[in-house]
Structure 1
Amino acid sequence: METSSSAQCLIVSMDLHSNILTGHIPERIGEMQVLEKLDLSENLLTGKIPLSLANLNSISELYLDTNHLEGEIPFPSSFGQLSSLGFLRLDDNHLTGRIPASFGNMVSLQRVSLANNKFEGVIPSSLGNLSALKELYLSGNLLSGQIPESVGQLSQLIMFNVSHNQIQGPLPHELSSLENLQTLDLSFNHLNLISFPQWLAELPSLSRIYCARCGIQGEIPDFLQATPSPIQELDLSSNHLTGSLPAWLGRLTQLYKLNFSRNSLVSRIPVSVRNLQYLGVLDLHSNKLTGPINNVFQIGNAFSDGSLTYIDLSDNYFSTGIIQAGVGSQTGIQYLNLSHNFLGGRITTTIGRLKSLQTLDLSCNKLGFNLPEALANVSSLEKLKLQKNHFTGRIPVGFLKLKRLKELDLSDNLLAGEIPAGKPLTDFPQSSYSGNKGLCGKPLSPCKVRGLLLVEEPLKPC
């Protein structure tokens, strides 16, 4: 990549994102004094960030993200450099070193993303000088130490993401001054909060809370039912939560995403969840939840608009519910995982109404009877996992219509007969069908033929 000395004085905006540019960013790029926007993101650029970028006194937008850049951040090297820079993206590279303390001198910064690099050390307290800052993304690095108290001075901040680092607790109480904060992600650090901070839930604008694997213990705190701003997304997964799913969950009427997975919750799903009209993502997997799960699919018939798209209730102790009734009305579901439960009975034909379904995992349950022919109507299906159940009979010929199917597992059932010949069924490995004593045909052994009659191997008793 090279710059032209004859044209550089005329270029105010250079946008070359999403190409296949290779090589280094040229050092002479700093001579483009009138440049206000530079976007080289989503390319294959390598090497270090040129020091000369600090000379771009007019630049307000700098996007170098999603490349293969390495080394440290070289700017600003002195006070006053890049004083007009408002939007900076360096995420998804291989940058190393510390976040420079001089970052606090770029007082026009409004949005900064340094995520998914290899930055280490502490978050510099000088970031508290960035009075115009609205969004700060530091996730996916090796940052350590505590969140500096000065972050509480960022009165305009609406997004703060430090997830997937090595940040330690305690949280500074100064964060309670962030009156405009809407999204806070502290997940996957070394905070060891023990309890969920009540002052955090009292932030007047906070509606998206992510505190996965923060060491939180005890029951789901009751004060979350009456936050000043309605909760839209709540992730308390991978903690040490115990007790029940509270009935007041149904009062979070603006809730779109709820993730309590990987905890030790013991209860039924409360009837009140039927009030969650905007729920789109429900993840409760890997708990000790019991009883029927019909409530999930009877939420006031609120999902006729397809808002519920992702459901994971796997690795619990559910016994009855969705398989027998209700599932067909939730036509917007794209991901449904009920594996590793105790669900029994048959899958009814209403399953065929899930026209948007891409992943269906009902493995490791006690489901039986024939595989429903109606599954052939789910043309969007890409992953189907029904292994380790008690399904009997033949594989429906209609399954040949599942042209998008990329992963199939029907192993360890009681299926019999010849596997329907043709794509995609014959393209899957033997492991997709193993453990069914009566199955034959490609990719398994050929069915035995006596004269012109196909003879299936008899099922052996369990």
Structure 2
Amino acid sequence: MAGKFHLSILLLLAALLLQLFDTAALTDSDDFAGLQALKSIWKNTPPNWEGSDPCGLGWEGISCANNRVISITLASINLSGQLSSDIVKISELQTLDLSYNTGMTGPLPQDIGDLKKLSSLILVGCGFSGPIPSSIGSLQQLVYLSLNSNGFIGGIPPTIGKLSHLYWLDLADNKLTGTIPVSDGTSPGLDMLLNTKHFHFGKNQLSGEIPSGLFNSNMTLIHLLLENNLLTGDIPSTLGLVKALEVVRLDINSLSGSVPENLNNLTSVQELFLANNKLTGVLPNLTGMDLLNYVDLSNNSFVATDVPPWFSSLQSLTSLIMEKTQLQGPLPPSMFSLPQLQTVAFKNNRINGTLSFGSNPSSQLYQIDLQDNLIDGFTQRAGLNIQIVLVGNPICDEGVTESYCKIPEPSPPTYTTPLENCNPQPCTEDRVSSPSCTCAYPYTGTLFFRAPSFSNYGNSSIFASLQQNMKASFKSHGLPIDAVSLSNPTKNIDNYLLLSLQVFPSGQDYFNRTGISAIGYMLSNQTFKPPKEYGPFYFIGNSYPYFAGLQASSKKSSSGIIIGAAAGGSVLVLLLLMAGVYAYRQRKRADTADKKNDPFAAWDSNANSGGVPQLKGAKSFSFEELKRITNNFSELNDVGSGGYGKVYRGTLPNGQLIAIKRAQQGSMQGGLEFKTEIELLSRVHHKNVVALVGFCFEQGEQMLVYEFIANGTLKDSLSGKSGIRLDWMRRLKIALGAAKGIQYLHDLANPPIIHRDIKSNNILLDERLNAKVADFGLSKPMNEPERGHVTTQVKGTMGYLDPEYYMTQQLTEKSDVYSFGVLLLELLTARSPIEKGKYIVREVKQAMDTGKEMYNLESILDPIVASSPSPRSVERFVDVALRCVHESGESRPHMSEVVKEIENIMEAAGYNPNAESASTSASYEGHSKGSNHPYSNQSLFAYSGNYPPSMLEPK
């Protein structure tokens, strides 16, 4: 009976397993092999890392998309081992975060550069060592590179300079040596990181001078942290070119020479640390740096200087630290009236006279340390609660007993998050009472703030604000937390503010691994943004030993283990049968999936069309679907036509308006162009690039399905065909939107894309007149080996075509820049690029006179532009256009520069570059009752043959 019972149970389980096998999706085999290899060399991996389907079974710390592993986040779970080359088998990996696992040791594998999709490599607070591999420079999609608080040695790889998308670069708190690499024409360097906001290199052993070539005016850098290294030489004057800087820490080095006079060009800097160097010359003049909160120039060798007037002019100042800086003379009472001032520390100088706070001292003042100066008088004020230290001054001669003549007893500030209107209860074991008075096992660690703008750590309200901010941020991201507690603010030897952090779970007294990794990831990848006054920070989490299930019972029922002997043979046969059926169904399902997911099964790769397209999200429509959506392609839905074919309007079942571009028989695109447009548009997603919804490739048809763009082409609006009046502000807005779309194609698309056919017919305007770049039939993806240029057959549109590209057949991103410059001139003049035999570029250059208003172009400009209320903005716009159509591609700006310049033009003219154009298209004066779609007869007048050179000269 027992054998029959167990056999029945097994048969039922077998049926369930077969059903499961029939419906489950399997993780990619290479991804599974990579995870299995890592699991074999890592200790303390999550217990649910079992089975052969990490995506389907929900392995903790693993995130997937389309059965490919795209993320591994395993922070603070006491993981140990090494990061082997097996990681590169997971080729779609985008995020790798192993932070706060000190047991992760050894070097990073050299072939980590093969993870081409990786955008976040975050290994904070581990035990990794060895040199940082140069192959990291191959991770072209990398946005976050956080390797701080490890044991890396060697130099900073110059190849990091190739990471054009990098936003966050943190190599601090390692053992890095050597100089800071800059490019030299043959090798890359960190000066190429124009989009990187954060250089965090403190607490290493970097040596040599700070290269003058490290900085340039195109950088968007906001945090420069080089503190606590072995740097020597002068502070380069080029530092003053980086206008975006907000935090500068060059302290605790051996820098010498005078501080550059142009340092006060950095008007956005809020924290400036130059202390503990060998700087000489006069004290720097910081006049104009009105956002400065914290200034520390202590322990340098400046020449003797009277107290400068800029001390009293910096209205944002909270902390002025000038110990041992050769200051002399009296302190002006006006300095103490600065509204935010908290700390004045002028130890070991030659300050003299009488100390007076004036009539209106700051209510924030809490500490004034003037030890070892020459002060001989003090005008006290009643009611001030300020710690004043005058030890070592004449006023404190022997026998004086005033409190300010005594070294104060150290009293470190205390803070603990207050209780939330509850009574704490005693907790058993290692559990802790939270601010909500529940007992739980908190996740703990330390927050390190590298440059806080305040110095009064006894102000509890500022920490309460941080605690509330952090709790709200965690909850807004759906993390399972009940409360956050901060405590023990301290200042360490590196001048960092440290805070102890406890995060308490919600609904139970422990976190699982997913919860811990999610919290750790929010802190390691800087998703959590503290209030601005805290400045740059990092977090070091402690391992979390309280996961549920670690002490699971080992008791098992003997009746669940013993199986009757009579059932043994049957079970074996059943398992073999299951294996056979499973293998058959898996192969059948794989074949079905291949057919279902391959809309190009009939694609003829030998018919000059290349391999089967690789798609990312575009839907394959059947011919019958599109026939039904367009009412059998009726004339009523015909909204445009061209040499390629016709465009039809339709509505999807979900209500989305679409435009269907249908090639006419005999005039179809070549297979390669059709494939290119599908592949490129399916992987680009930007608000200023027209979105591809899908395509149809069956029954001899080639059709592309786009989002419907209500207001047609820019060409139609400039020519008056659409009835939309484009004033100067709207033209600027359109130019900015188109520039952003092209910049996205050049800098952020993967791979980067050269459009090759930028023109007014390929800029579409939606219902709010937002510009969208369209028509990718001639576009060229630029894979890594081709980033400089690619030699290719010349294609484009007459009048917009780059002469350099035409002459050399070498296509670069600057070819699009030239075409865009022509487009800008078209916006200015409302003329076609070639009109009545005249070329717009040549006409503008010949008519220009920079000594006259609007450059004497009134006769060429469109009357709407000529009547602009901001003539200077028109002139600057002309300047940008002419830079774009420069004869030499090298002399043309990058699209990122063009975007920035147009934004500056708009702001200077009083327009908001981020504002919406209008509520709807109907709000535009003269808006026509009908709408024409972009694909008119003119839109496909594209070049693929020979133009006479005279038509292409930009002279």
TM-score (norm 1): 0.62
Pick from 84, 87, 101: which aligns with 2:165? 84
Distance 2:345 2:239 in 1: 27
Matched, 1:120 2:207: yes
1:396 maps to none
Alignment of 1:245-264 (within 5 A): 245-264=331-350
Alignment of 1:15-414 (within 5 A): 15-20=97-102, 21-76=104-159, 81-101=162-182, 102-129=189-216, 131-193=219-281, 195-198=282-285, 200-216=286-302, 217-227=304-314, 229-272=315-358, 275-289=361-375, 298-299=383-384, 313-316=390-393, 318=396, 319-322=400-403, 334=412
Question: Residue type matched to 2:239 in 1?
Answer: V
Distance 2:152 2:249 in 1: 22
**1:292/1:93 CA distance change after superposition, 3 Å:** same
Distance 2:327 2:262 in 1: 26
2:83 maps to 2
Q: What SS class does the counterpart of residue 121 from structure 2 fall into?
A: strand
Deviation at 1:314, TM superposition (A): 4.5
**1:224/1:5 CA distance change after superposition, 3 Å:** closer
1:318-349 alpha-carbon deviations (Å, 9 max, x no partner):
3243499xx9xxxx9637xxxxxxxxxxxxxx
Deviation at 1:6, TM superposition (A): 7.4
Distance 2:328 2:131 in 1: 48
Q: What SS class does the counterpart of residue 224 from structure 1 fall into?
A: helix
**1:41/1:311 CA distance change after superposition, 3 Å:** farther
Question: Residue type matched to 1:254 in 2?
Answer: Q
1:332-375 alpha-carbon deviations (Å, 9 max, x no partner):
9637xxxxxxxxxxxxxxxxxxxx8xxxxxxxxxxxxxxxxxxx
1:434 maps to none
Deviation at 1:107, TM superposition (A): 1.8
Distance 2:245 2:280 in 1: 24
Distance 1:72 1:106 in 2: 17
Contact map agreement 1:240 1:263 (CA 8 A) in 2? yes
Bigger shift: 10-19 or 145-154? 10-19
Contact map agreement 1:294 1:322 (CA 8 A) in 2? no
Structure with the bigger RCO (C-alpha within 8 Å, sep 6+) is 2
**1:46/1:273 CA distance change after superposition, 3 Å:** farther
Distance 2:392 2:125 in 1: 38
Bigger shift: 92-101 or 128-137? 128-137
Question: Residue type matched to 2:250 in 1?
Answer: V
Contact map agreement 2:88 2:114 (CA 8 A) in 1? no
Pick from 84, 89, 93: which aligns with 1:11? 93
Question: Residue type matched to 1:192 in 2?
Answer: T
1:100-125 alpha-carbon deviations (Å, 9 max, x no partner):
01111122111111112111122122
**1:45/1:294 CA distance change after superposition, 3 Å:** farther
Distance 1:211 1:94 in 2: 26
Deviation at 1:235, TM superposition (A): 1.1
Distance 1:276 1:208 in 2: 16
Distance 2:231 2:200 in 1: 14
**1:106/1:290 CA distance change after superposition, 3 Å:** same
Deviation at 1:14, TM superposition (A): 1.9
Deviation at 1:188, TM superposition (A): 1.9
1:136-188 alpha-carbon deviations (Å, 9 max, x no partner):
01111222222222212111111111112222222223323222222222222
1:19-56 alpha-carbon deviations (Å, 9 max, x no partner):
21222222232222222112212222221111221111
Q: What SS class does the counterpart of residue 215 from structure 2 fall into?
A: helix
1:64-100 alpha-carbon deviations (Å, 9 max, x no partner):
11122111111317x7x21111111111111111100
Distance 2:267 2:198 in 1: 18
**1:184/1:84 CA distance change after superposition, 3 Å:** same
Contact map agreement 1:215 1:240 (CA 8 A) in 2? yes
Contact map agreement 1:215 1:239 (CA 8 A) in 2? yes
**Which has more helix, going by share of residues?**
2
Q: What SS class does the counterpart of residue 108 from structure 1 fall into?
A: coil
Deviation at 1:273, TM superposition (A): 8.7
* Unaligned residue ranges in structure 2 (runs of 5+): 1-81, 183-188, 414-457, 459-487, 489-955
Distance 1:183 1:48 in 2: 31
Contact map agreement 2:388 2:404 (CA 8 A) in 1? no
2:799 maps to none
**1:171/1:14 CA distance change after superposition, 3 Å:** same
Q: What SS class does the counterpart of residue 335 from structure 2 fall into?
A: helix
Query: Alignment RMSD, CA only?
Result: 3.1
Deviation at 1:241, TM superposition (A): 2.1
Contact map agreement 1:158 1:180 (CA 8 A) in 2? yes
Q: What SS class does the counterpart of residue 249 from structure 1 fall into?
A: helix
Equivalent pairs counted in the alignment come to 318
**1:264/1:14 CA distance change after superposition, 3 Å:** same
**1:281/1:30 CA distance change after superposition, 3 Å:** farther
Deviation at 1:288, TM superposition (A): 4.1
TM-score (norm 2): 0.31
Deviation at 1:274, TM superposition (A): 7.3
**1:5/1:49 CA distance change after superposition, 3 Å:** closer
Question: Residue type matched to 2:332 in 1?
Answer: P
**1:177/1:288 CA distance change after superposition, 3 Å:** closer
Distance 1:292 1:176 in 2: 33
**1:174/1:249 CA distance change after superposition, 3 Å:** closer
Distance 2:254 2:359 in 1: 35
Question: Residue type matched to 2:108 in 1?
Answer: I
Which structure: larger Rg?
2
Question: Residue type matched to 1:201 in 2?
Answer: T
**1:204/1:54 CA distance change after superposition, 3 Å:** same
Distance 2:354 2:267 in 1: 36
Contact map agreement 2:356 2:379 (CA 8 A) in 1? no
Q: What SS class does the counterpart of residue 280 from structure 2 fall into?
A: coil
Q: What SS class does the counterpart of residue 265 from structure 1 fall into?
A: strand
Q: What SS class does the counterpart of residue 144 from structure 1 fall into?
A: strand
* Unaligned residue ranges in structure 1 (runs of 5+): 302-307, 336-355, 357-379, 381-462
